[in-house]
Amino acid sequence: MTDTIRDPATGSRQDRYVPGEIEKKWQQRWREEGLYEVDLNDDSRPKYYFLTMYPYPSGDLHMGHWYAEVPADAAARFTRMRGYNVLFPMGFDAFGLPAENAAVKAAREGVPNVHPARLTYERIERMKQQFDQMGAMFDWSKEVVTCDPEYYKWNQRFFIEMMERGLAYRKESVVNWDPVDQTVLANEQVIDGRGERSGALIERRLMPQWHLKITDYADELLDFEGLDWPARVRTMQTNWIGRSEGAEVVFKSEQGDDIVVFTTRPDTLWGATFMVLAPEHPLVAKLTSDEQRAAVEAYVERTSHLTEVDRMAEAKEKTGVFIGAYAVNPVNQARIPIWIADYVLMGYGTGAIMAVPYGDQRDFEFAREFGLDIVPVVRPDGAADDDLDPGRLEEAWAGPGTLVNSGPLDGIRHNGEKGRASPAIAAAIEYLESIGAGREQTTYRLRDWLISRQRYWGTPIPVLYCDACGIVPEKLENLPVVLPEDVAFMPTGESPLKTHAAFLNATCPRCDGPAKRETDTMDTFMDSSWYWFRYLSPHDDDRPIDPELADRWTPVDMYTGGIEHAILHLLYARFFTKVLRDLGYVNISEPFRSLRNQGMILGSDNEKMSKSRGNVVNPDDLVAQYGADTVRAYLMFMGPWDQGAPWSYTGIDGQARFLNRVWSLVVGGGEGDEAKASMTEADLRRAVHHAIKEVTEDLEAFRFNTAIAELMTLQGALSKARAAGLAATDTWREGVRTLLKLLAPIAPHITEELWHRLGEEGSVHLQSWPEHDPAALVVDTVTMAVQVNGKVRGQIEAPREADKDAVLALARAEQNVARYLEGKEVAREIVVPGRLVSFVVK
RNA sequence: GCGAGGAUGGCGGAACUGGUAGACGCGCUAGACUUAGGAUCUAGUGGCCUAGCCGUGCGGGUUCAAGUCCCGCUCCUCGCACCA
């Protein structure tokens, strides 16, 4: 049994739409002809750098990749047809834990010869084959694979140059330790107290680690001037950086130690009735009295063992211990007790606070819990003395008001603004500075970027430890420090670099004495922080970035990718670009001019696709069944791209039908009933130009779903026109060609096939984008609604040129409208040209 | 708790500066062609007590006119979360 017999209506097999055949054929032709290879030095057309986030080579291209990349491809193709020289490269974020974990697992199970490198390159090959069947116009000649020494060598160079400038440094700090992945993680990689990848509960450990000084760039990173980015991402980054303006105030312990606190409300200093130090604060041991020592040590011990999750779970109730020491408030010499509590974090500000229970809800709760004094210092507008009575307060007052009980600051207004924008805060800062007890200060929530990873499969950090010289960077001419391949993975997951003698034992670059290599590798976000520069010259052995090409092609004009990178990758990439600028490699400060985020594609059960849930939809199977063009069109049709959507198996049939109808417009078959259709050439021409206008605007705005809806409408109009006998007209033939061009970015294979079947020689993808003729959109008569007292009572056909009086006359004459106007007094008449007429009657 | 976004037919979703709510598609119903149809084509499809009335999460308001603007809520999603 063959298809031909099963489908007598459409004639020979050759005339049927068989996606599997034409898609392979065109993919091969495009490759052979180098259709998508970009000449970076071509300046005959304006350049456009269209970038989509490169994937981790998991070995399988899943629906999420398709959802991310197919619409990006359509937008890139559209841009190209509009006359730009579009660079649309692709590569692989090839370092990372999964491949190494697979090797560790194999070692545990006694399977030999599983190495992350081999695994990764195999997976890359497989994914590239899957990429091919997507029909995307990636220019693979610029491919970047980050685990290649020719790439990561430059990570090492950047690192050393950053070290020389103090932007990379080693420091002992409390870190997030992931016990499953056996490595530390950056703050950004810890979600709800758990490792982003492993999901393991994060432990706190004190370890020496390498950091990059992203905090030096905090203020510059808050500036999004000139960036066309979603507000959501800008807000998330702004919140993450968390700039707070305020003051540093120095309290003295009774023993004479300086205790520095940070506060955003120095104007409430007269209301500070106690101090709280973080349990890890270095002064705790020294200041604690003998009587309190046992209690304090117990509390410190307890908090140090709590995981982040435990601490959050206990956040409801305030806990803490008095350490038996007192401090002096510098503005009024009040003697105030010093406590420790875990609601004060060592990692923020100075790890110590002045507690103003009247003005801060947390301090208020703490004071109530432990019976500490509350002194009112801000009178809310209109508040009576009774309202300020500490005994009657139910919560802290952080809003605007006038300062009271505040010595020289009494009567000054706090207007609720932050920093010096509040007269009270400004006055407090000046007063503090005048008595030498503090100064204006800005603090950030952002921490320096911790890049050390205790894992093998990453860029080796190029430093050595020499007994004589200390920490020494590798010489630039010795780069790259290559990851040794002859390593044995241990079942424990511990990095094999730690026991690899040939790697470990090296010569000190400074004194030629014996030295040990650093065994930590770099966070893989380092790789993705500059890869778009490398696409421009992926194999340049002399320098990481070609300065001329970088000047010409960057910043990236359009960057697309998942919202999950709003903070991590996108913040690091911005930081790194600024560092590269300061190191003299590039002349730009921002890497990505425009940014668009796609949503997530979910399983049909509305849950995230995962093997364990069994709701994974495999694109390969769908492509085999429907063809890539149908899958592409469906992914773009499901809804707004930035919203994401649950997968549905039923909806995809609609796209298959649509493409079949387009096919039949060129090849024949599927004609409707001629007798019922009527359409003029002018109607058809209007439909075509309307579609050009709408599809163009939709694609510009990444509204793929409505673009396809318009294309369906155009297909419907062409089918109807054919049934109405217009198929022999130039208008119809031109309409079909326009449809193919407008559809080409979305469904590249079928449009290319049909374009050639129309007798064209060149590729449809090299055609220029159609432009609509406004004159073609003009209609002779418009349908207008007629309302009486706000309700639609009829419709009229009015000549386009009709003036207000003529339209009103037509409206009054409409049968049903006349009925409602009869015997009534018309109080108002409103005419919205081309839209409606509205009568108000009494 | 703070910040951002959202709620429209049985379903996914349209709707420009307030101007005929439900484009486009899925599903469903009927018909045509058929030995057959889960193919194709045609027509219909928000609800109801159907010359009309009611309908865009809920309650108010502005307006000739509100999915769209204003006030007050509810719920959902995402991000941050004891950040001083």
Token output for A752: 């290319």
Three-state secondary structure call for residue A547:
helix
Torsion of CA A103, A106, A111, A112, to 10 degrees: 20
- DSSP codes joined into one string, A25-63: HHHHHHHHHTTT---TT--SS-EEEEEEPPPP--SS--H
> Distance in angstroms, CA of A657 to C1' of B30?
21
Report the alpha-carbon distance of residue A713 to residue A267 in Å, rounded.
65
Report d(CA A61, CA A624) in Å as an integer.
14
A792 touches strand B (CB under 7 A): yes
Tell me the β-bridge partners of A791.
Answer: A788
A677: pLDDT strictly greater than 90: no
pLDDT interval class at A672 (50, 70, 90): low
Residue A762's pLDDT band (boundaries 50, 70, 90)? very high
Q: Widest CA span of chain A, in angstroms?
A: 109
User: 3-state class of A379 per DSSP?
Assistant: strand
Tokens 């940014």, located at residue: A595
Q: First vs last Cα of chain A: how many Å apart?
A: 75
User: What separation in angstroms does the CA of A407 have from each of A383, A404, A415, A438, A462?
Assistant: 20, 8, 19, 17, 57
The answer to whether A781 and A797 have CB atoms below 8 angstroms apart is: yes
Q: What is the mean pLDDT of chain A?
A: 89
A763 and A81 Cβ atoms separated by less than 8 Å: no
CA distance A765 to A747: 11
Q: Which of A365, A344, A341, A355 is nearest to A270 (CA)?
A: A355
Three-state DSSP string of A101-118: HHHHHHHHCCCCCCCHHH
**Domains observed in chain A:** 243-444 (3.90.740.10), 611-776 (1.10.730.10), 779-841 (3.10.20.590)
A624 touches strand B (CB under 7 A): no
Residue type, A126: R
Asked whether strand B has any atom less than 7 Å from the CB of A10, the reply is no
- Secondary element (H or E) of residue A830: strand A826-832
Residue A440 has pLDDT above 90, yes or no: yes
Q: Tokens for A75? A: 């937008």
Contact indicator for A511, A468 with CB cutoff of 8 Å: yes
Tell me the HSE value of A732 on the side-chain side, using a 13 A CA sphere.
19
In the numeric block, which tokens belong to residue A238? 């702004």
Residue with CA nearest to B77's C1' atom: A643
Question: Is residue A706's pLDDT more than 60?
Answer: yes
Provide mean pLDDT across the span A529-545. 97
CA distances in angstroms from A295 to A179, A288, A323, A336, listed in the order given: 30, 10, 8, 19
Strand B contact with A840 (CB < 7 A): yes
pLDDT band at A731 (very low <50, low <70, confident <90, very high): very high
- What's the pLDDT at A567? 86
Q: B36 C1' – A1 CA distance, angstroms?
A: 16
How far does the CA of A790 sit from the C1' of B65, in Å? 6
Hits for CB < 7 Å against strand B across A residues 665-724: 670-673, 676, 703, 705-706, 708-709, 712-713, 716, 719-720, 723
Nearest-CA neighbor of A242 among A446, A492, A541?
A: A446
Residue A247, CA: closest nucleotide via C1'? B84
CB-based contact A540:A142 (threshold 8 Å): no
Token pair recorded at residue A260: 């520095």
Does A4 score more than 50 pLDDT? no
Residue nearest to nucleotide B26 (CA to C1'): A651
Instruction: Pick left, alpha or beta for residue A254 (phi over 0 → left; psi -120 to 50 → alpha; otherwise beta).
Output: alpha
Residue A11: its pLDDT value, please? Answer: 43
Mean pLDDT for the stretch of residues A684-688 = 93
Q: What are phi and psi of A369, to 5 degrees?
A: -65, -40
In the block, residue with structure tokens 């705005």: A701
Cα–Cα distance for residue pair A54/A68, rounded to 1 Å? 10
Residue by residue, DSSP assigns A238-287 as HHHH-EEEEEEEEEEETTS-EEEEEES-GGGGGG--EEEE-TT-THHHHH
Rounded, the Å distance between the CA of A703 and C1' of B16 is 14
What pLDDT, in 10s, does the model give residues A182-198?
Answer: 888 877 777 777 777 77
| Pairing label, strands A378-379, A449-450 | unpaired
- Segment A516-528 shows an average pLDDT of 95
Chain B bases having any atom below 7 Å from a protein CB? 3-5, 11-16, 19-21, 23-27, 36-37, 39-43, 51-54, 64-66, 78-80, 82-84
Phi–psi pair at A731, nearest 5 degrees: -60, -45
Q: Which residue has the higher pLDDT, A699 or A101?
A: A699
The per-residue pLDDT for A5 is 29
Other beta carbons less than 10 A from residue A378's beta carbon: 27
Name the residue with tokens 């195999």.
Answer: A122
Q: How many CA atoms lie within 13 A of A187 on its CB side?
A: 16
Q: Which two tokens stand for residue A194?
A: 């758990």
Q: Tell which phi-psi region holds residue A77, choosing left (phi > 0), alpha (psi between -120 and 50) or beta.
A: alpha
Chain A window 426-455: residues with CB closer than 7 Å to nucleic chain B are 443, 445
Question: Quick one: pLDDT band at residue A313, thresholds 50, 70, 90?
Answer: low
Determine the length of chain A: 842
Of the candidates A825, A812, A823, which has an alpha carbon nearest to the alpha carbon of residue A784? A812
Q: What is the DSSP letter of A747?
A: S
Residue whose tokens read 């599983």: A114
CB A735 within 8 A of CB A718: yes
Residues 203-242 of A with CB under 7 A from strand B: 231-232, 235-236, 239-240, 242
- C-beta separation of A49 from A89 below 8 A: no
Strands A791-799 and A781-788: antiparallel
Which helix (H) or strand (E) segment is A293 a member of? Answer: helix A290-305
- A23-72 pLDDT, tens digit each: 999 999 999 999 999 999 999 999 999 999 999 999 889 898 999 999 99
ipTM of the assembly?
Answer: 0.94
CA dist., res. A406 & res. A386, Å (int): 18
* Cα angle A452-A119-A628, degrees, rounded to a multiple of 5: 110
At residue A102, φ and ψ (nearest 5 deg) are -65, -40
Q: Is the CB of A176 under 7 A from strand B?
A: no
- Rg over alpha carbons for chain A, rounded to the nearest Å, is 34
Strand B and A16 CB separated by under 7 Å: no
Instruction: Report how far apart, in Å, the C-alpha atoms of A829 and of each of A10, A793, A835, A837, A842 are.
Output: 57, 14, 14, 7, 12
pLDDT confidence band for A309 (50 / 70 / 90): low
| Percent of chain A at pLDDT exceeding 90 | 63
Cis status of the peptide bond prior to A480, with omega within 30 of 0 = yes
Lowest mean pLDDT among A567-576, A627-636, A829-838: A829-838
DSSP assignment of A331-371: TT--EEEEEE-TTS-TTSTTSEEEE-TTT-HHHHHHHHHHT
- Asked if residue A112 has a cis previous peptide bond (ω within 30° of 0), the answer is no
Give the residue, A667 or A194, on which the prediction is more confident: A667
Nearest to A354 by CA among A439, A263, A429: A263
Q: What is the DSSP letter of A492?
A: T
CB A202 under 7 Å to nucleic chain B: no
pLDDT tens profile A390-417: 888 888 888 889 999 999 999 999 988 8
